[in-house]
Structure formats: C-alpha cells, structure tokens
Amino acid sequence: MLGDQLAGVAQTAYTGDGFGALQAFMTSGSPEEFLDRVALLESVAGHHNDVVDRVASAQAVAEKAQLSAERAAAEAQRQVDEVTAKQADLQAEIAEYQARYTALTAAQQEEADAAHGGRTLAAPPPSEVVANSAAAQTAVDTAMAQLGDPYVWAAAGPDSFDCSGLTQYAFAAAGISLPHSSRMQATMGQAVSRAELQAGDLVYFYSPVSHIGIYIGGGRMVHASTFGEPVKVGSVDMSGYAGARRIV
C-alpha cells in the first residue's frame, strides 16, 4: 500500500501534474484565492513527505526483519549440523560396541551384562508389587508389562526401550511427562534414601547418571538394562547405585 502511494507521488512529480507557488500566483484571481492555493500546496507537500517517510521506515523495518530471519536460519542450520554430527558419532560408537559384544563368548556376554545391567532376577507376581498411589501403581504395572521387550538405544516403546525410554513410557501411562534422559529424570521429584524406597520410585546409577529404572519393592527394580538384554527385573543394589527420586 505504501509502495503504491510512493509510486503515485513519483508519477505526479515526473508528469508535472502538481503546481508550485509561482503557478498558483499566476492563475489566482485574487489574493485570497492565492493564499488558499498556497495553503493547499503546503498540505499536499506535507502529505507527500509523510508518504515518503512512512515508506522509508517500513523498508528499514523489513530489512531488519529479513536480517534477523537470515541470522536465525543460519543459527538453526548450525545447530542441526551439530546435532547430526553428534548423532553420527554416537551411532559409530554403538556399532563398535555391538561388534565387540557380538564377538564375545556367551559366558563373556553374560559377565558384561551383569557388570552393566546387573543380574537378572525372577519377576514377582503382580499382586506383590504394590505402590502407595494409583499413579505410581500404573507406572509400575506398565513397566512390568514390558518384561522381555528388547533393549534398543533411544527407543521409548511401545515394543522396545532404552532405560529412560522405559521409565518415560511407564509414567506417561500414569499421565506424568518425563524427559527421555536418565540424567534429567534423576533431578525430578523428591530425593529419597535407599531405606525409604517405595514401589514406583525412580532409581538411578553412575556419576554422571547414565542409567535409570523403577523400584518395585524387595530390593528389586524393573529396567531396560543394556544392549543384548531385554527389559527385566534386577537388583537395585547392583554396582553404581547413585540415588532415587519419588515422582508421585
């Protein structure tokens, strides 16, 4: 709209459709008519100047917005490239670990699983896993229903999980949103001591935190332990225990 107005001003100036004070004087029939025409000229000139100023201001705003958008797009692309590079590095590390794990004997694989994911314990009957709230019970029941599902790095269900993916999935069933990160989950809720553990509490391991599970009572937890091991019940006292959090 402002561009159209500016074009009209330019056209008027180019074609000579306007008239100046001298022409007003020459064509006026009286001093009063001359003064009226001069006043009209001043009004038109002020309007034209306003149009030019508004167009210049709008153009400056547009140029600033475009520059900001270009900078934001460049920063977004930089972050995408950085994340892509990190994902590639992680995938390479995972592939290397999987190759080394596959090369182990069955006894060595069992030893490696126990070192990282703890020994596998028998799952208790559902009636023995009793939480102190409906939400915690739903989270526990949902996690226990995944026993036997495969461990897949970065998976969050419904058919495969990593450790924080399992806890995220279980608590989501109870209407509670958790981030897909064991380290971030280990900062949520209320800290509880080992002696105060209740079914439904999150239990986390290592420093910095890199593993997490859900306590089910009796010194046991349900967790997606490690590559090559399905979701299982294990001891909460496995190596690396670092603390617990009560989410509900």
Residue in 48, 116, 180, 223 annotated catalytic: 223
In terms of average pLDDT, the best of 11-20, 122-131, 133-142 is: 133-142
211 catalytically annotated: yes
Instruction: Looking at the structure, tell me whether residues 125 and 234 fall in a common domain.
Output: yes
Contacts of 3-7 spanning 24+ positions with Cβ under 8 A: 3/55, 5/51, 5/55, 6/51, 6/52, 6/55
Range of the domain at 55: 2-86
Relative to beta strand 190-192, strand 241-246 is antiparallel
Same domain, 16 and 78: yes
Number of domains in the chain: 2
Q: At what angle do helices 134-144 and 163-173 cross, to 10 degrees?
A: 130
pLDDT tens across 96-115, in order?
766 776 787 877 766 666 66
Average pLDDT over residues 169-186: 98
Does residue 138 share a domain with residue 54? no
Residue 65 and residue 24 share a domain: yes
- As a whole number, the mean pLDDT across the chain is 81
> Which pTM does this prediction carry?
0.59
Q: Is the pLDDT of residue 69 over 90?
A: no
User: Is the domain of 123 the same as that of 242?
Assistant: yes
223 is catalytic: yes
Measure the CA–CA gap between 183 and 168, rounded to whole angstroms.
12
Task: State the Cα torsion 100-106-107-109 to the nearest 10°.
Answer: 40
Least confident of 37-46, 72-81, 93-102, 222-231: 37-46
Query: Of 86, 107, 142, which marks where a domain is finished?
Result: 86
Q: Pick the last residue of a domain from 30, 62, 86.
A: 86
Is residue 242 exposed (0-12), middle (13-18) or buried (19+ Cβ within 10 Å)? middle
Q: Quick one: pLDDT at residue 93?
A: 66
The better pLDDT of the pair 19, 189 is held by 189
- In a domain, residue 205? The reply is yes
Compute the half-sphere exposure of residue 143: CA atoms within 13 Å on the CB side of its CA. 36
Choosing from 48, 116, 163, 180, the catalytic residue is: 163
The CATH number given to whatever domain includes residue 198 is: 3.90.1720.10
Which single residue is written with the structure tokens 């461990």?
Answer: 151
